[in-house]
Amino acid sequence: MNEPDPHLITEQDEANYRQIVIATNAARRSYNPGEQLRGSRGRKYTQIIKPLLAAAASGRGLFKELGRPVELKYWNSIHELIRELEVLWAEKMAGNTGLVNDIISIVEELYEDGYIERPTRKFLSKL
């Protein structure tokens, strides 16, 4: 296959080729406009098509937040914190298994503020 001389290719030639590739979806899988770009290690793709299409893409789209937002809990007094721990512990004893992280966060808060000693692994494993 003959290779074109890069010095003879004008900007208008590149613009025309880019329009053809985009209009025909030649660079997309199954020539489908909804499919992703076809990748290749070939010289034609890496040196001609990919740079043309990279110039066409701009921006990153809308930001989509992943996961649930972080829930921050504030405590006015130690008594509120202990009361919440009592309620969570009673719910856990009643069979609710989804409270372990909340219980651990309250225990950590009590430890960090100096109200309790460091919880043992044995205690934490029983949660």
**22-35 pLDDT, tens digit each:** 899 888 888 898 88
Model pLDDT, residue 12 = 92
**Ramachandran angles phi, psi of 109, nearest 5°:** -60, -45
The answer, yes or no, to whether residue 62 has pLDDT greater than 60, is: yes
Say how far apart CA 20 and CA 12 lie, in whole Å: 12
d(CA 121, CA 124): 5
List of E strands, the chain: none
pLDDT at 84: 94
Give the domain ranges of the chain: 6-56, 78-126
Give the pLDDT score at 55.
64
pTM exceeding the 0.75 threshold for the entire prediction? no
Q: Which pLDDT does position 2 carry in this prediction?
A: 72
Interval 4-13: pLDDT, tens: 787 888 889 8
CA–CA separation, 105 and 113 (whole Å): 12
List the structure tokens of 30.
């199954």
Tokens for 26, please give them. 């030649």
Instruction: Say if residues 85 and 103 touch (Cβ distance below 8 Å).
Output: yes
Q: pLDDT: is 59 or 95 the higher one?
A: 95
- 63 Cα distance to chain centroid: 10
Greater confidence (90 vs 65) lies with 90
1: pLDDT strictly greater than 60 = no
- Residue 74: its pLDDT value, please? 86
Of 59, 54, 3, whose CA–CA distance to 27 is shortest? Answer: 54
Q: pLDDT tens digits, residue range 72-114? A: 888 889 999 999 999 999 999 999 989 999 999 999 999 999 9
